[in-house]
Amino acid sequence: MSLTWTKLTGDLIKSASERRIPLAGSLELTARCNLRCKMCYVCQSAGSKEAINSELTTAQWIKLAEEIRDEGALFTTLTGGEVLLRKDFKEIYENITQLGMRVVVFTNGTLITPELAKWFGKIPPSRISITLYGASEDTYEKVCGMGEGFNKVCRAIEELLAEGITVEVKTTITKGNVQDYDKMVDIANGWGLKLGVIDYVSPRREGCYTDPLGNRLSAIEMAELVKRSNLENPYADEHIADEIWKDSDGA
């Protein structure tokens, strides 16, 4: 019987749930971001002193990661905001990977340089998940407030792939970029990747000036797009082995 990554993780999650073990979790290292996306639920600017002062320290994040590891965690996602804004990101990342957990990094990709891609290549995460917000500089300017972000993201993905890093490309579809959907699929396919679709736009956090709900597609529009995505651009499960473990009788 074929063993896939979905099957393996599904079994692990089921077993962990029954035993009340926190198998996976996300660590939001910062609420700051260098983009100004209209649909984002966080809105702290990259240099916000208030936000910086409210963040956990390097030592606190490492201690927290050790605690969740000791409780049984195998998977952790480093997310933001934009995690690469943290000057201590490398230190946090290196320490967490040394704990033996599978690490996923969520990023918008605009801060990934050739040097950073090479660094990731030396201690690669389980995957780097990058959100593509459009298929042109114009769309990036309209949606994210950074037109040059489009080319930065494309270069970053190509540099990561060149280092042998597993890259996931996904998009948050909104009123401002839905017209780019087909082009984004083509761009992802050009890298040999599938385009994932985030089907929920979260309400903004208290105090944010963004308008996530105003930028949402209608429920029907989103459902139709997700259905189309699943049919035209299906997720391919990761194959692990040709046979699962046999029981003691060899059955």
Domain with 193 in it: 16-241
Residue 60 falls inside a structural domain? yes
Residue 89 falls inside a structural domain? yes
Residue ranges for the chain with pLDDT beneath 70: 1-2, 235-251
Residue 141 falls inside a structural domain? yes
Write down the pLDDT at residue 237: 53
Residue 4 falls inside a structural domain? no
Chain centroid to CA 64:
20
Query: Total domain count for the chain?
Result: 1
Residue 248 falls inside a structural domain? no
Write down the pLDDT at residue 23: 86
> Hey, what's the torsion of the CAs at 184, 167, 129, 169, to 10 degrees?
10
Write down the pLDDT at residue 211: 86
In whole angstroms, give the CA distance from residue 106 to residue 83. Answer: 7
Residue 54 falls inside a structural domain? yes
Residue 247 falls inside a structural domain? no
CATH (domain of 67): 3.20.20.70
pTM, two decimals, is 0.88
Residue 210 falls inside a structural domain? yes
Write down the pLDDT at residue 223: 93
CB 76 within 8 A of CB 67: no
Write down the pLDDT at residue 236: 55
In whole angstroms, give the CA distance from residue 58 to residue 88. Answer: 7
Write down the pLDDT at residue 1: 55
57-97 pLDDT tens trace: 999 999 999 999 999 999 999 999 999 999 999 999 999 99
Among candidates 186, 195, 110, which has minimal Cα distance to 147?
A: 110
Write down the pLDDT at residue 183: 98
